[in-house]
């Protein structure tokens, strides 16, 4: 660090500009816009860049607005778009076929008789559909897209992982919650369930998607070093 006041002021001005213009870059429910000057362009790969930039700027400044901007971008469109080894549970799955332009050309329900370990080539949104969708390239659902669903259809191990160098506050309303630990295979290895008799809070230092669920890693308190599902009713990430 140089201690330059000029560099400090330029950095602060840049961060303020980013905060002020993010509403023009964000494209709610879809891929973020490439830039202020080229808002007609939307590239999935650059959406990943925008998301990482927001979290990195949060790590550098501690500005909640920047962390929230990263959260919003992930909610709009996946920031981890690659495939990998996947899992499809037995049972009925709603699937779609998508053409080269991204349009849905067919939809149907398919029964998978036994759980399958499959290859997945993409993790993205499908136009006009809620949620994150996975393109399956092997098994019963080969060449079709299935919605990412907790414990039923997902890319194995951690995806979309971001670390918070400045831990964020996770607020809990009073109630009962469960935290989990996972082994190297991505399987739950430990569960801790506890009932809070009053509203409470803890700090988290990482977010990730595991088995189709977004989790937050707790750094202190009852669930230290356990993962709490971000979708748990009664929790709010600050």
Give the CATH number for residue 203: 2.30.30
Q: Is 209 helix (H, G, I), strand (E, B) or coil?
A: strand
Gap between the Cα atoms of 32 and 43, Å rounded: 8
Percent of the chain with pLDDT over 70: 99
User: Which residue, 74, 76, 60, is CA-closest to 18?
Assistant: 60
Both 65 and 10 in one domain: the answer is: yes
Position 185 scores a pLDDT of: 87
Both 89 and 108 in one domain: the answer is: yes
Both 192 and 173 in one domain: the answer is: yes
User: Which residue, 91, 100, 88, is CA-closest to 127?
Assistant: 100
User: Which residue, 67, 122, 76, is CA-closest to 236?
Assistant: 67
Gap between the Cα atoms of 210 and 99, Å rounded: 28
CA atoms within 13 A on the CB side of 161: 7
User: Which residue, 187, 170, 112, is CA-closest to 146?
Assistant: 112
Q: Among residues 76, 99, 128, which one ends one of the domains?
A: 76
Task: Answer for the pair 61, 69: CB distance below 8 angstroms, yes or no.
Answer: no
Both 68 and 100 in one domain: the answer is: no
Residue bearing tokens 């971008």: 73
Structure tokens belonging to residue 134: 């996975």
Instruction: Count up the domains in the chain and report the number.
Output: 3
Q: Is 175 helix (H, G, I), strand (E, B) or coil?
A: strand
Task: Answer for the pair 154, 148: CB distance below 8 angstroms, yes or no.
Answer: yes
Q: Among residues 121, 136, 155, which one ends one of the domains?
A: 155
Structure tokens belonging to residue 93: 């799955």
Q: Among residues 155, 176, 200, which one ends one of the domains?
A: 155
Residue bearing tokens 């750094």: 219
Task: Answer for the pair 222, 170: CB distance below 8 angstroms, yes or no.
Answer: no
Position 5 scores a pLDDT of: 86
78-88 pLDDT, tens digit per residue, is 999 988 999 99
Position 9 scores a pLDDT of: 75
Domain hosting 176: range is 159-237
Position 1 scores a pLDDT of: 62
Both 10 and 49 in one domain: the answer is: yes
User: Which residue, 172, 181, 165, is CA-closest to 227?
Assistant: 181
Q: For residue 31, what is the DSSP state?
A: P
pLDDT band with cut points at 50, 70 and 90 for residue 20:
confident
113-152 pLDDT, tens digit per residue, is 999 999 999 999 999 999 999 999 999 999 999 999 999 9
147-205 pLDDT, tens digit per residue, is 999 999 999 999 999 999 999 999 999 999 999 999 988 889 999 999 999 999 999 99
Both 226 and 183 in one domain: the answer is: yes
Gap between the Cα atoms of 146 and 48, Å rounded: 22
Q: Cα separations (Å) of 25 from 22, 46, 54, 59, 145?
A: 5, 11, 12, 20, 28
Both 63 and 97 in one domain: the answer is: no
Position 15 scores a pLDDT of: 82
Both 48 and 101 in one domain: the answer is: no
């Amino acid at each position: 660090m140089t201690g330059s006041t000029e560099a400090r002021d330029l950095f602060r001005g840049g961060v303020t500009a980013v905060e002020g213009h993010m509403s023009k870059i964000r494209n709610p429910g879809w891929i973020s816009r490439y830039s202020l000057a080229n808002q007609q362009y939307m590239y999935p790969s650059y959406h990943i860049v925008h998301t990482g930039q927001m979290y990195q700027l949060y790590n550098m400044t501690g500005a909640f607005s920047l962390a929230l901007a990263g959260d919003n971008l992930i909610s709009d469109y996946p920031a981890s778009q690659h495939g990998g080894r996947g899992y499809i549970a037995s049972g009925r799955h709603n699937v779609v076929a998508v053409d080269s332009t991204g349009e849905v050309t067919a939809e149907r329900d398919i029964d998978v008789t036994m759980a399958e370990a499959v290859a997945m080539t993409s993790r993205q949104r499908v136009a006009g559909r809620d949620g994150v969708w996975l393109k399956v390239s092997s098994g019963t659902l080969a060449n079709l897209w299935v919605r990412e669903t907790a414990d039923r259809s997902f890319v194995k191990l951690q995806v979309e992982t971001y670390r918070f160098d400045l831990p964020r506050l996770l607020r809990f309303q009073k109630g009962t919650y469960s935290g989990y630990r996972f082994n190297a295979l991505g399987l739950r290895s430990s569960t801790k369930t506890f009932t809070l008799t009053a509203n409470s809070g803890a700090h988290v230092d990482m977010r990730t998607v595991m088995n189709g669920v977004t989790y937050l890693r707790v750094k202190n308190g009852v669930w230290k070093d356990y993962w709490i599902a971000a979708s748990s009713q009664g929790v709010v990430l600050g």
